[in-house]
A and B are shown apart, each in its own frame.
Chain A
Amino acid sequence: MQPKDYAMQTIETKMREAIKDLFIHGKVDVVIGFQKGSRPQSARPFFARSADDAGKMIWNDHCSSNVAVFLPKLFEKPQRPKEGFKLPRVGVVTKGCDGRSIAGLVKEKQALRENLIIIGMPCGGMKPPSKHNGKKAADVGRACVECVNSTTSGADIVISGESKKPAKGDYARIKKFESLPANKRWERFVAEISKCIRCNACRQACPNCYCKVCFADQKKPSWAVPGAVLSDTIVFHIGRMFHQAGRCVECDACVNACPMGIDLRLFTQKLAMDAKELFGCVPGVTSEEVPPLQTFKQDDSECFITDPEEK
């Protein structure tokens, strides 16, 4: 057995013990983590509901899903709550990206911090599921290579272990794309969007996409026909991505969920870069009280404003 695997296994054992403990002491109703997937070399999200279930949980480098996506539904109050209804107490096994998402959800009141027990895991980067026949069973995903904080800050339980060193966060890929001529950029954008089959996996996998009724599902008015009319698909993607402006934690849940292998990161990352450069905000890392697009400063940049009197 290689030393690295051994390290993973001890991390896994420590995690299981910690979760078992939570159940035994009645501190949680459910713990969201991972179990072994049915495909070779895979992991999938798992809701553990008992100490026994904790034994089924795993931790390895295939745990790429962002499990924060399940929180808004868990913390949803029923319309007519039964007497004695209580919101669940939820444990979450978190990587750095999950942690950043959770911070955002707490900020946006989609998760109750006092009902959450965050189990911070060490993360050396995750391998996204191998779905695309052409590609080899993948290395660590791009999100992980470019990840600026691979462990969760403010975790309630910290499972110690070795994590990946933070990347520079210099958005080199975005800046390179930016330097291309406009028509090339548009061509690339359309080429990526053309692959879309509108299965909504990107939206459903995104922890930030918790709207009760998505604009794309609205019928009055209808913003983006749910079929495969190209221009409507473009509206859908611009709309969906822009809703993440200043909120996207660059976890690549959308990229990993996409069955068609659309490189959404090339575009969502631009929004993250702008949020950082214009407003100094890195969601889940810097400590704003509200997302940057819900607030303002008197001296925000105005360089984009058209001034007709300017010559």
Chain B
Amino acid sequence: MPMRIEQIRLENDAKDLKTFRLSFCNKDDENGFNYKCGQFAMVSVPGIGESPIGIASSPLDKGILEFTVKRYPTGVVTTALHDLSEGDTIGVRGPMGNSFPLEDLMGKNLVIVGGGFAFTTLRSTIRYLLSDSQRKNYGAVTVIYGARSAGELLYKNELAQWQERSDLTTIVTVDKGSDSWQGRVGLVPNVLKESAPSALDAYCIVCGPPIMLKFTMPPLLELGFTPDKILTSLERKMTCGMGKCGRCNVGKYYVCKDGPVFSYDKIKDIPENGF
């Protein structure tokens, strides 16, 4: 499915994070592309390759798709994507994988914990939850988001807006503070412990690098979240996106097909869960 790049936004100071806003080249594709929060798609640059990227826009954002892509020096596709400019066409295959089960969570309180660059599908989720049609369906929503430094924080404008909203608690933290940073300093697991959101009637959605997940799970359990109420999204290298190529196996699960969203009880005993 070809899509046109409408807008490219730089997300950080290091200039290796960009958000691509895409529009559909064909109306049929647009009507056929129905996705949910937490899903991903295979984004391809012809002749270069394909990469699984989480969808950062909300299903309620009509007519567009947004992907936030980090460029790695060794990443062929991510580098190629970053070299593109507005107006170029790229390929999108998807949506793929399962999603955060937001319908099932209606009426519950939600704690959303994100770290670093893994915030993209969480942003999709938060945008969805905050929409006029959805906000009333859910209880209290707490967002804890951390990054290595202030320059690494994604979606700064939105974060500022969220922090001003009364129907949402947003805590933004950075690992390493700087002179210009006015906000909180501290690692996500510690901030989580300090803020101690109630586990009562609540589910937690947590996404982040493996090392963050590793240290976030114990405090969550302490706070009273049972493993089946902790949802996380895994990231793996993928080729097919259909549970065949074998690359994204985590135990018997294929992250592309059975995931990327897993409840913690499903994967906590698998040695290669990565955390």
Contacts and interface: CB of A to CB of B under 8 A. Distances in A.
Nearest to A222: B76
Contacts of B74: 219-220
A219 B73 CA distance: 11
A226 to B, nearest CB: 13
The dominant DSSP class at the B interface is helix
Q: Is the interface of A mostly helix, strand, loop or mixed?
A: loop
Interface of B: 74, 76, 79
Interface in A241-280: none
B82 to A, nearest CB: 13
A219 B76 CA distance: 7
Interface of A: 219-220
A219 B77 CA distance: 10
A98 B74 CA distance: 35
A212 to B, nearest CB: 12
A219 B50 CA distance: 13
A62 to B, nearest CB: 34
The 5 A-B pairs of least Cβ separation, nearest first, read A219-B76, A220-B76, A220-B74, A220-B79, A219-B74
Contacts of A220: 74, 76, 79
5 contacts: A219-B74, A219-B76, A220-B74, A220-B76, A220-B79
Contacts of B76: 219-220
Contacts of B79: 220
A220 B79 CA distance: 10
Nearest to B77: A219
A80 to B, nearest CB: 13
A38 B54 CA distance: 47
B210 to A, nearest CB: 15
Nearest to B79: A220
A180 B236 CA distance: 51
Contacts of A219: 74, 76
A146 to B, nearest CB: 42
B185 to A, nearest CB: 24
B150 to A, nearest CB: 26
Nearest to A213: B74
Nearest to B80: A220
B240 to A, nearest CB: 16
B245 to A, nearest CB: 14
A218 to B, nearest CB: 9
A220 B80 CA distance: 11
Nearest to A221: B76
A219 B79 CA distance: 12
A256 B74 CA distance: 34
A219 B74 CA distance: 8
A220 B74 CA distance: 7
A219 B48 CA distance: 10
A28 to B, nearest CB: 30
A115 B104 CA distance: 60
A217 to B, nearest CB: 11
A79 to B, nearest CB: 14
B9 to A, nearest CB: 25
Nearest to A219: B76
B211 to A, nearest CB: 13
B88 to A, nearest CB: 20
